[in-house]
Structure 1
Amino acid sequence: MKKKTHNKYDMGVIGNCAFMAYVDTKASIRWLCWPRFDSSFIFGDLLDDEKGGEFSVKPTAKIKDTNQYYVENTNILVTEIYTEDGDFKVTDFAPRFEQDDRYYKPLMMVRKIEPLQGTPSIKVVCNPVGNYGEMIPQKSQGSNHIRYEGFDQQMRLTTNIPLSYVMEENSFVLGGAVYMVLTYGAPLEAAIENTAEQFYTRTKRYWRNWVKSTSISFFHQEKLIRSSLILKIHQYEDTGAIIASGTTSLPEYHKSTRNWDYRYCWMRDTYYTLNAFNNIGHFEEVEAYFKYIENVTKQEEDRYQPLYTITAQKEITEIEMPLKGYLENKPVRIGNDAYTHIQNDVYGQVLTSLLPLYADKRFTNKYRMHTKKLVEHTLQKIADTMEEKDAGLWEFRDRPGHYCYTFLFHWAGASAAYKMAQYFEDVKMADKALKIKERAAEMIEKCYDEETGVYMQAAGAKDMDASCLQLITMNYLDPNSERARRHLLGMEKELMATDGLFYRYKHVDDFGAPETTFLICAYWYIEALACVGRIKEAIDYFEKVSSYANHVGLLSEDVDSKDGSQWGNFPQTYSHVGLMNAAYRISKKLDLPNFL
């Protein structure tokens, strides 16, 4: 029997839509990749405490307690550390604000350290690494900065801390506020204190204005705001891509070997992510994502892949790295072989994602100009792949099948294409879309099990799959029907764990039987409850499931229902999108007002 390992991700995340950094409750940077989300880490002791480098602020006295929180309605993180000699706090942020009609979002991390009481003594260590720990840069001292040589671009730590203390890693008494600005590429040449304070003020103002411009109901507003802010910084603004997570190889369960690199953009997430941004009234992010999807799909004459890089590149070769791994979980994988898989729900994902361009009058004609050919091509791909086995939503590596979820997105994609055909006034396309929709419905019905009253994972299978909850939430099944009621009851009986947590499935796959629940599935269940009118239960489970967030409100991919442990890559956009969409569904049922 496996030894139980209770796990909680004691980290907050900062970012500016160009990079993210993970800061733990002792003010150490556990993970930071530069210059892109999918680049090598420069600080990565999350995966290896020897090869991962270090960027820490450590007191010389014993730590009595810590407290970590976000500055209200921002992605600025504060870590307070209380010691026997005195207390201090570290404020971390990635600058982001409007400047010259553009967003200023440099590869720059700002750290402000200031005493709270007493005379705390601290030691600052800054030792970045390259090439996943294989390259140790040479350090040299400038007039008010330290250079780290060996990277593709110059890296500097500019600070008003005496440089010798940092170079020699000596402790010093913190008599007042000090600043550290780590840069990749263009260095900071301006005055340190004034610039850092100005950047802090402008970054705080930017995030608060962003939050004020969202349309969020009063239902668990604080959770929605945090999820929205976290989702926002997972968008690589340069291309519009939204990554699944900023980490790689955080295991789905201890010693499970289910360790994957999630620093890429999955087509399977498209519909849900765009829904989430639409629901909070944020179109800037939606428009950027549309452009990314257009760039992905226009290069594909044949198949769409399940995932692409943040620059819409196709090849994401998966390799294993000689690193210890998180809690010694191996292998550590860079890249993701799932890009080679056949996953046919992607076509419906693209079509349902394009529909708001035509259905929502807030989008103008310029976004519709080039998409008819794309719609026609993608609709044809649904027709071409209708009878084909694929890897399914969960990317099974050795279990091809006729999956219900794939057929559901064939049905939804064809429905969307029909509505777009009406916009184009294309009778031929509309007729074709209706025929494909009817065929998809026939395939979905092949997954129905008369004995249990449940739609199974695949045609001819006897295994249940939480993705089939979407038959209700996407209106394939009438939420008021007896068939929807029976289907939901059967899914609950088989796949629900404690507190509304849900397993994706329980059957053995190519890595054994799953041991943790999948958070997005719990939120799908909550949405389904709201759809069928079980509102009180939906609210109750929403509160219970959301309580599995960490101390600053961040959700992982997986949760162990037995002890509440967080597992999987973190934070997981899928989970936060699930929270946002479930909250929206409940608030609509409660008829709670949104405000702008």
Structure 2
Amino acid sequence: MTTKHTYDMGVIGNCAFLALVKQDTAISWLCWPRFDSSFVFGSLLDTRKGGEFSIKPATEEYSSYQFYRENTNVLCTEIENEDGRYRVTDFAPRFPQYDRYYKPLMLIRKIELLSGTPRVKVVCSPVGNYGELPLSRRRSSNHIAFLGLEEEIRLTTNIPLTYILDEELFVLNEPKYLVLTYGAPLEAPLESTAERFLRSTVQYWQKWVKSTSISSFYQEAVIRSALALKIHQYEDTGAIIAASTTSLPEAPGSTRNWDYRFCWMRDTYYILTAFNNIGHFEEMEQYFHYIANISTKVKDKYQPLYSISGGTELIERELDLEGYLGNKPVRIGNDAYTHIQNDVYGQVLVALLPLYVDRRFLDSERTDSQKLIYDALRMIDKTMNMPDAGLWEFRTLAQYHSYTYLFHWAGAHAARHVARRLRNTEMEALATRLIEEASQKIEECFDTKRGVYTNAIGSPHLDASTMQLIMMGYLDPASEVAKIHLVELEKELKTPEGLFYRYRHADDFGTPETTFLICSFWYVEALACVGRVEDAIREFESLLTYTNHLGLLSEDVDARTGSQWGNFPQAYSHVGLVNAAYRIAKKLDQPNFV
């Protein structure tokens, strides 16, 4: 039997940076100073060049137990061997201070004795330029400075520096602290400051969770997803990245290894919906401002994705690294930014709609948005008869995708809603015409023999994204058409385990080998929409078995083995979980708890 592969690590972050911590205590991934910067620790992609930051025991044989402090992004890893047991608590400080959030480029690691007399070895060797730049070390009285990057990386600790510099074992007999900083160092008492930051960070996250509005339906899973999603937002600009990693393969040997540390326009609607569903307006507002900022820069078209700063050139290149479990190539950048993906205009319009229907937004925030709405409507008009790469970003195939036309339809609906509020008859007339034209195009995708909407005009292939026809209300969920459409998708794209492929036809890299997790959550939502609530609950419960030991989701799942693949953790998958749980809870009419 093939071994089930799961990612044996947890994620921590503070909306300024993210880090992955393995069950052996190693920081396997940490990019500084931005989400999309080079890693300073990247053993995830290269065990030789990736540097190391670990707190390992004296023996190779040991057991490990990893868990989050309840309702937080503070991660604990307990290591036990014949000598004793110790706990490493890892966190990125985040808490309110001086009327804003304190979120420094600072990783704090607390090591505490639990039993016995364990001996541990701390290794700290950051690198630069994706492993090509070794850093020099400078020893000071209570810290080690790592030099060679634009700013200093500093390790401040109460562990004797000799033990760290020489990578020697020492007996753990009292709490030890390691504070790693990029740029501004810690210039305060070490132990008391680390403990204060830990208390304040735990309190921040637990208070954040308490302010979340969710039903009692699988609360624990929704809370973990919400916490994971939150730290994928780069608070400085409001951008939300798809994942913190690059080049974790969609399937072993597939070469489908992509950099996901960017913000995809196609995710806009689903992300905003997720934050709205859990009652978190602050994150929704920040993300809206990021989208609005991009909209002001657009000249002739929107790109499918942008950098966290709104940057437009995401040039893709390959690095000379081992790759995750030997999977090459390792890529940074993403060539998809050059693709034509026309559903983005509808995504932007649907994203702008809350400005006009949600009274939490102020009138002043709507001032410039009328021009954005007009511009997006005109782009829908301009691209109505143009083929595109579709939301799955086919690299060598342009088609007239039903999903694109669905967002033309939905975006024009949103614009018409706004036009009526503004009493703008010209905008209303344009939006109405585009609704009708998009509807006609969608109907051209309907296969009358099978009673199903295909992925594109003139194509026989089915695509999981067409479940959105039901979820977004293009098809009446109570209609026979919707029910038959869903049954036909089940026949072709659903695995016996209940997982869903995006599609089954060959693309630029062959036939997809793994299922795409967000599609499985869309399926749960579609089931709930058409009234098959018991089926939806059963499938949702099944999907929860594909998390790792901490409740974190990857991008892809191998249906045969249940293995996790793709970039990790995948914000999009956690968005899917949040929205599916919300849809079921509404059908069950379960109350929200605040």
TM range (shorter): over 0.9
How far apart are the structure 1 equivalents of 2:297 and 2:411? 20
TM superposition shift of 1:4? 5.7
Matched, 1:67 2:69: no
How far apart are the structure 1 equivalents of 2:128 and 2:59? 31
Partner of 1:468: 466
How far apart are the structure 2 equivalents of 1:455 and 1:427? 33
Partner of 1:217: 215
**Counterparts in 2 of 1:442-461, with a 5 A limit?**
442-461=440-459
How far apart are the structure 2 equivalents of 1:425 and 1:546? 47
Partner of 1:399: 397
1:13-67 Cα deviation digits (max 9, x unpaired) = 0000000000011111000000000000000000000000000011002433111
Partner of 2:495: 497
Q: What letter is aligned with 1:270?
A: T
How far apart are the structure 2 equivalents of 1:413 and 1:63? 57
TM superposition shift of 1:359? 1.2
Identical residues among aligned pairs (%): 62
* C-alpha contact 2:275 2:284 (8 A) present in aligned 1: yes
Matched, 1:305 2:303: yes
Which of 563, 570, 573 aligns to 1:575? It is 573
**Counterparts in 2 of 1:82-481, with a 5 A limit?**
82-481=80-479
Q: Please, which runs of 5 or more residues in structure 1 have no aligned partner? A: none
TM superposition shift of 1:521? 0.1
Q: What letter is aligned with 2:485?
A: H
Which of 523, 526, 529 aligns to 2:527? It is 529
TM superposition shift of 1:574? 0.7
TM-score of the aligned structures, taking structure 1 as reference length? 0.99
How far apart are the structure 2 equivalents of 1:204 and 1:139? 33
Q: What letter is aligned with 2:30?
A: L
How far apart are the structure 1 equivalents of 2:493 and 2:344? 25
Q: What letter is aligned with 2:532?
A: R
How far apart are the structure 2 equivalents of 1:441 and 1:235? 34
TM superposition shift of 1:5? 6.4
TM superposition shift of 1:578? 0.3
TM superposition shift of 1:102? 0.7
TM superposition shift of 1:115? 1.0
* C-alpha contact 1:456 1:468 (8 A) present in aligned 2: yes
Partner of 1:51: 49
Query: Which 10-residue stretch deviates more, 569-578 or 352-361?
Result: 352-361
TM superposition shift of 1:383? 0.5
TM superposition shift of 1:370? 1.2
* C-alpha contact 1:267 1:349 (8 A) present in aligned 2: yes
How far apart are the structure 2 equivalents of 1:184 and 1:315? 26
Q: What letter is aligned with 2:477?
A: P
* C-alpha contact 1:11 1:22 (8 A) present in aligned 2: yes
How far apart are the structure 1 equivalents of 2:206 and 2:367? 34
How far apart are the structure 1 equivalents of 2:407 and 2:502? 18
TM superposition shift of 1:6? 3.8
How far apart are the structure 1 equivalents of 2:50 and 2:3? 23
* C-alpha contact 2:402 2:455 (8 A) present in aligned 1: yes
How far apart are the structure 1 equivalents of 2:226 and 2:9? 18
TM-score of the aligned structures, taking structure 2 as reference length? 0.99
How far apart are the structure 1 equivalents of 2:55 and 2:431? 60
TM superposition shift of 1:455? 0.3
SS in 2 for 1:547: helix
1:464-521 Cα deviation digits (max 9, x unpaired) = 0000000000000000101001100000000001332100000000000000000000
Q: What letter is aligned with 2:166?
A: E
* C-alpha contact 1:499 1:545 (8 A) present in aligned 2: no
1:193-251 Cα deviation digits (max 9, x unpaired) = 00000000000000011111110110000001000000000000000000000000000
* C-alpha contact 2:350 2:414 (8 A) present in aligned 1: yes
How far apart are the structure 2 equivalents of 1:545 and 1:447? 30
Q: Please, which runs of 5 or more residues in structure 2 have no aligned partner? A: none
Partner of 1:18: 16
- Aligned-pair Cα RMSD in Å: 0.9
TM superposition shift of 1:356? 1.1
* C-alpha contact 1:120 1:174 (8 A) present in aligned 2: yes
Partner of 2:536: 538
Partner of 2:546: 548
SS in 2 for 1:312: coil
Q: Extract structure 1 runs of 4+ deviating beyond 2 A.
A: 3-6, 61-64
How far apart are the structure 1 equivalents of 2:329 and 2:428? 48
How far apart are the structure 2 equivalents of 1:191 and 1:142? 16
